[in-house]
Amino acid sequence: MKKKAIVIGSGLGGLSAAIRLASKGIETHVFESNPFPGGKINSRSIEGYRFDQGPSILTCPEYIEELYTICGEDFSSFEMAKLESSFKYFFDDGVELLLKHDREKVIEEISTKLHEDPKQIENYLNKAEDNYNLIAPLFIEKSLHRWRQLLGKKLIKALLKLPQYKLFSTMDQENSRFFKNKRTAQVFNRFAIYNGSHPYMAPAMLNMISHLEINVGPYLPKRGMIQLTESLTGLAERQGVNFHFNEKVEEIILEGGQTKGVRTSKGKYNTDFIISNMDVSLTYEKLLPNAKHPKKTLEQERSSSAIVFHWGMKESFPELDVHNMVFSDKDEEEFDTIFKEKKVFDEPSIYIYISSKIVKDDAPEGCENWFILINAPINIGQDWDKEIELKREFVIEKLSKRFNRDIRSIIQFEEILDPRTIENKHNGKFGSIYGNASNNRFSAFYRHPNYSKQIKGLYFVGVSVHPGGGIPLALSSSKIATECLYEDFKIH
């Protein structure tokens, strides 16, 4: 008899898990409470502007290519551009740093403008690459909770290099050791944001993230980030995946410690196994209220959230790139305020993403679509309306001064997202974007595994479980979860 699987949620983790299951001949159903797929990777078009709603940086396209290969389709149909530069940084003292997709030019730019030793920069980037190549095949692409998947020469090789990972140092401690200019350390500390963590607390091992953006380089799909959702949804449909939109799963049905089905707003559905792409904490709290919960795992510190402004700008800014960061010069205070005080910092760093620099149809001619993000704490009942009002004024004033233009008068359209939106629309507990934060050296081991140890047939994907936050890791979670499922149910 044909096996049947149910996937709860259609974020990238859920979509890619559904593709993998269907490719094995498993009857696969995806239940999504929203009327659209994609989770946080969504899109909104209004008044001639289109805005990506969630993640804005694509690295590791090989994880997407693997899904095309599984389906026997040509990955060249997924059109994307490799960006000429990864990021442009603006500092309070007027210094601007543009990191081109050229390692020698990156070294030259940092050494010239921030007065660093070129050899130190090269050593740092070499180390990031070496660490990534050693760690990724094990701790990003395999389950940390099944040793038989880890055992082998790669594990031995990685363990022999343990001292170079600086497990007892933070990202900032390691970056400040390498670089003499605080602003250089600030550039590399920024990669903690990719999984919603505090760079003065997160382990130095996370510095390897810089390898993907600086050594390898980011991409932008031809139609913007929404192309990820559209392409994977198309792949899933061509594999025979059944989508149930506007149908919220309300309960996971168990029998004898094993999954038997789900109850939704429209009825009951039987299944052999379930993969949840919902926040793992909310999966237990809302869908499994009577099951035993892994409290220690679920009570870990949550990642940061964000306040996002979508601005349709009726002028263009040639001084800006696709990805930009206008830094605060008080970054440690900013992260302390977010994680320790649970407040939005008064003078935060400002991230600006402008897809219309590449995807010309994303804004009217001569205009730009600005996605502006400032880091925020999780939602614990703060007065978000007041915070939004204050931070909107701060962003307008700072950018007006920085770019010598009246930003307020250029905003033609505005839409705002905040931690409440993220919590309600995307089921991110407390509005956290990446599940647990990585603010201690054991954080990777505290993440929930990609399967339940108590409930047979229940698996987990997405940013709230191993291996963590970000597009590559969400995609990797689906491979890990389905491999565990195949192993448990002897599917070949």
Place of tokens 């994680």: 339
- According to the model, what pLDDT value does residue 147 have? 55
Query: Taking the model in full, what pTM does it have?
Result: 0.93
Q: Which two tokens stand for residue 88?
A: 């442009």
Query: Among 449, 274, 301, 317, which residue's Cα sits nearest to residue 264?
Result: 274
d(CA 373, CA 60): 23
Task: Give pLDDT tens digits for 77-121.
Answer: 999 999 999 999 999 999 999 999 899 999 999 999 999 999 999
- According to the model, what pLDDT value does residue 141 have? 78
Residues in the chain with pLDDT values less than 70: 145-168, 444-445
- According to the model, what pLDDT value does residue 362 have? 98
- According to the model, what pLDDT value does residue 434 have? 86
Q: Between β-strands 242-245 and 27-32, what pairing exists: parallel, antiparallel or unpaired?
A: parallel
HEC profile for the chain?
Answer: CCCEEEEECCCHHHHHHHHHHHHCCCEEEEEECCCCCCCCCCEEEECCEEEECCCCCECCCHHHHHHHHHCCCCHHHCCEEECCEEEEEECCCCCEEEEECCHHHHHHHHHHHCCCCHHHHHHHHHHHHHHHHHHHHHHHCCCCCCHHHHCCHHHHHHHHCHHHHCCCCEHHHHHHHHCCCHHHHHHHHHHHHHHCCCCCCCEHHHHHHHHHHHHHCCEEECCCCHHHHHHHHHHHHHCCCEEEECCCEEEEEEECCEEEEEEECCEEEECCEEEECCCHHHHHHHHCCCCCCCHHHHCCCECCEEEEEEEEECCCCCCCCCEEEECCCCHHHHHHHHHCCCCCCCCCCEEEECHHHCCHHHCCCCCEEEEEEEEECCCCCCCHHHHHHHHHHHHHHHHHHHHCCCHHHHEEEEEEECHHHHHHHHCCHHHCCCCECCCCCCHHHHCECCECCCCECEEECCCCECCCCCHHHHHHHHHHHHHHHHHHHCCC
- According to the model, what pLDDT value does residue 56 have? 94
Q: Which domains does the chain have, with CATH numbers?
A: 4-41+225-300+443-489 (3.50.50.60), 103-142+154-217 (no CATH), 304-426 (3.30.519)
